[in-house]
């Protein structure tokens, strides 16, 4: 007997949650009114990026310094950037809306040799689709 919030599989007649896309018993795909939303593609290997790729910098990541109150202050603004060039430890990018050129460090986290409160840390990037020319 189905309860509220449940549905049965047409292939194996087992009970599943109403929001399931695939039967957990037999793997049968349910017919849905709306397709599942695509998740953002987080960049796991930054070396795969090529010049011209669009990336979004997630806030709360990247190079930072620790202020007088002990809080982290991040140095690169979040937003959409276009890859210009790759170096051995990061990406040279420019802002999509005229934000100027920036460097996105992608190496291991380390303390700066110039300042005790400055830390280089990798940025978290989300790859975006190419802009259509319409």
**Whether residue 40 has pLDDT greater than 80:** no
Q: In whole angstroms, what separates CA 110 from the centre of its chain? A: 22
Cross-strand bridge partners of residue 37: none
Instruction: Say what the pTM is.
Output: 0.66
If you average pLDDT over every residue of the chain, what do you get? 87
Task: Please report the DSSP string for 56-72 in residue order.
Answer: EEPTT-SSEEE-TTS-E
Lowest mean pLDDT among 23-27, 34-38, 83-87, 104-108: 34-38
Distance, in Å, from the CA atom of 73 to the CA atom of 75, rounded to the nearest integer, reads 7
**Whether residue 22 has pLDDT greater than 60:** yes
Distance, in Å, from the CA atom of 125 to the CA atom of 73, rounded to the nearest integer, reads 18
Give the 3-state secondary structure of residue 33.
Answer: coil
Dihedrals phi, psi of 46, to nearest 5 degrees: -70, -20
pLDDT in tens, 58-114: 888 889 999 999 898 998 888 899 999 999 999 999 998 877 899 999 999 999 898
Query: Which single residue is written with the structure tokens 């934000």?
Result: 99
Percentage of the chain lying above the pLDDT 70 cut: 93
Handedness of CA 52, 54, 76, 124 (dihedral sign): negative
Answer yes or no: are the C-beta atoms of 43 and 58 closer than 8 Å: no
Distance, in Å, from the CA atom of 69 to the CA atom of 113, rounded to the nearest integer, reads 22
């Amino acid at each position: 007997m189905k309860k509220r919030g449940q549905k049965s599989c047409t292939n194996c007649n087992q009970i599943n949650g109403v929001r399931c896309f695939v039967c957990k018993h037999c793997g049968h795909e349910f017919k849905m009114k709306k397709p599942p939303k695509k998740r953002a593609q987080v960049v796991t290997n930054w070396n795969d990026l090529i010049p011209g790729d669009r990336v979004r910098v997630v806030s709360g990541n990247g190079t930072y310094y620790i202020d007088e109150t002990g809080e982290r202050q991040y140095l690169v603004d979040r937003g959409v950037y276009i890859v210009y060039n790759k170096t051995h430890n990061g990406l040279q990018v420019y802002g999509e809306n005229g934000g100027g050129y920036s460097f996105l460090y992608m190496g291991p986290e380390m303390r700066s040799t110039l300042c005790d409160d400055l830390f280089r840390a990798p940025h978290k990037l989300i790859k975006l689709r190419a802009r259509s020319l319409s």
